[in-house]
Chain A
Amino acid sequence: MKLMPPAVRKAALTVHILSSVGWLGAIAAFLVLAIASLTSADPQLVRAAYTGMNLIGWMIIFPLSLASLISGIVQGLGTVWGLFRHYWVLIKLIITALATALLLVHLQPVTAMAKMALAADLGPSDMNGMRIQLVADAGAAILALLITSILSVYKPRGLTRHGQKVLNKQQAQTRPAKGANA
Chain B
Amino acid sequence: MTHPAPNPDSGTESRETPRHKTPRWVKGFLVAAAVLVVAIVVIHLSGGTVMNHTP
Contact of A132 among B18, B29, B50 (CB under 8 A): B50
B2 at the interface (CB under 8 A from A): no
B5 at the interface (CB under 8 A from A): no
| CB nearest to A157 among chain B residues | B23
A145 to B52, CA, bound (A): 23
Total cross-chain contacts (CB, 8 A): 49
Q: Interface residues of B, CB < 8 Å — how many?
A: 16
Task: Report A-chain residues with C-beta under 8 Å of the C-beta of B51.
Answer: 129, 133
| Cross-chain contact B54 with A112 (CB below 8 angstroms) | yes
A127 to B51, CA, bound (A): 12
Task: Tell which of A105, A129, A159 has the most Cβ of chain B within 10 Å.
Answer: A129
Knowing A108-B54, A130-B52, A132-B50 touch, does A164 contact B18 (C-beta < 8 A)?
yes
| Cross-chain contact A132 with B49 (CB below 8 angstroms) | yes
A142 to B24, CA, bound (A): 24
Contact of A87 among B26, B50, B52, B54 (CB under 8 A): B26
- A contact residues, range: 20 to 34
Query: Secondary structure of the B side of the interface?
Result: loop
A116 at the interface (CB under 8 A from B): yes
A39 at the interface (CB under 8 A from B): no
B4 at the interface (CB under 8 A from A): no
A-B contact pairs, 21 of them (CB 8 A): A87-B22, A87-B26, A91-B26, A106-B53, A108-B53, A109-B53, A109-B54, A112-B54, A113-B55, A127-B55, A128-B49, A132-B49, A132-B50, A133-B51, A157-B23, A158-B25, A158-B26, A159-B20, A161-B20, A168-B16, A168-B17
CB within 8 Å of B: which residues of A? 87, 91, 105-106, 108-109, 112-113, 116, 127-130, 132-133, 136-137, 156-159, 161, 164, 168, 172
Q: A87-B26, A161-B20 are in contact. List 17 more A-B contacts (CB 8 A).
A: A105-B53, A108-B53, A109-B52, A109-B54, A109-B55, A127-B55, A129-B51, A129-B52, A130-B55, A132-B50, A156-B23, A158-B22, A158-B23, A158-B26, A164-B18, A168-B16, A168-B17
